[in-house]
Structure 1
Amino acid sequence: MSLPDGEVDPLISSRVRAGILAFLSDRGAADFTELGAVLELANNTLSSHLQRLEAAGYIELRRGFLGRKPRTRVVLTQTGRTAWATHLDRLG
């Protein structure tokens, strides 16, 4: 998303979504359950925020199984990494 100079991305201005991107920018990826635990979010709240970030192309949700147990990996995309860096830069 292209924003006018100096404006911050309203999608990232949410404290929760900023926390998600901050965590992923350091780690690159995380399991859904790990991310929820670290950010102290209920599953439905985390899911809602992840859907918004995924729709913007900032993250990718990779669903699969670890043995027989369902597993969702949350992966920061290059678009998300760039958006996060731009956000931090504009905050000063």
Structure 2
Amino acid sequence: MNDARFDETIHAPLRLRICGLLRQVDSLDFAVLRDTLEVSDATLSKHVKTLTVAGYVSSRKTASAGRGDARRVMWLSLTRDGQAAFDAHVRALQEIASPRR
């Protein structure tokens, strides 16, 4: 069964990297993702919003145990749809990159 599917939403370079990092974990702290990707909060927020609107990423906020202020930590996760779309997109890229025999 081949369910490869090129996905324009995921294919943008930063969104592809976001999905790739989130695919490896249950959830990831927004700040850790931002620092790993070396982008600004605004840039990451914009791309996360696009992925969220597509149904590919979900977020939740939790209290920060180590902080004395009211700031909260945002955790990001790929949804099941996001996982399936990312996996299908990677398969499509592999098909594009593989020589036909």
Question: TM-score, normalised on structure 1?
Answer: 0.88
Task: Flag structure 1 segments of 5+ consecutive residues without an equivalent.
Answer: none
Flag the structure with larger Rg: 2
Which residue identity does 1:62 align to in structure 2?
Answer: R
Measure, in 2, the Cα distance between the counterparts of 1:80 and 1:12: 9
Measure, in 1, the Cα distance between the counterparts of 2:4 and 2:40: 33
Structure whose residues are more often strand by fraction: 1
The equivalent residue for 1:74 is 76
Task: Return closer, same or farther for 1:6/1:61 CA change in 2, 3 Å cut-off.
Answer: closer
Measure, in 1, the Cα distance between the counterparts of 2:56 and 2:26: 12
Task: Return closer, same or farther for 1:41/1:6 CA change in 2, 3 Å cut-off.
Answer: same
Q: Please, which moves more after superposition, 36-45 or 56-65?
A: 56-65
Which residue identity does 1:12 align to in structure 2?
Answer: I
Identity %: 30
CA shift, 1:84, in A, is 0.4
Measure, in 2, the Cα distance between the counterparts of 1:86 and 1:7: 5
The equivalent residue for 2:35 is 37
Q: Which has the higher contact order (CA 8 A, sep 6+)?
A: 2
The equivalent residue for 1:54 is 52
The equivalent residue for 1:89 is 91
Which residue identity does 1:84 align to in structure 2?
Answer: F
The equivalent residue for 1:18 is 16
Runs of 4+ in 1 over 6 A off after TM superposition: none
CA shift, 1:7, in A, is 5.3
For these two proteins, the number of residue pairs brought into alignment is: 88
Measure, in 2, the Cα distance between the counterparts of 1:73 and 1:6: 28
Question: TM-score, normalised on structure 2?
Answer: 0.81
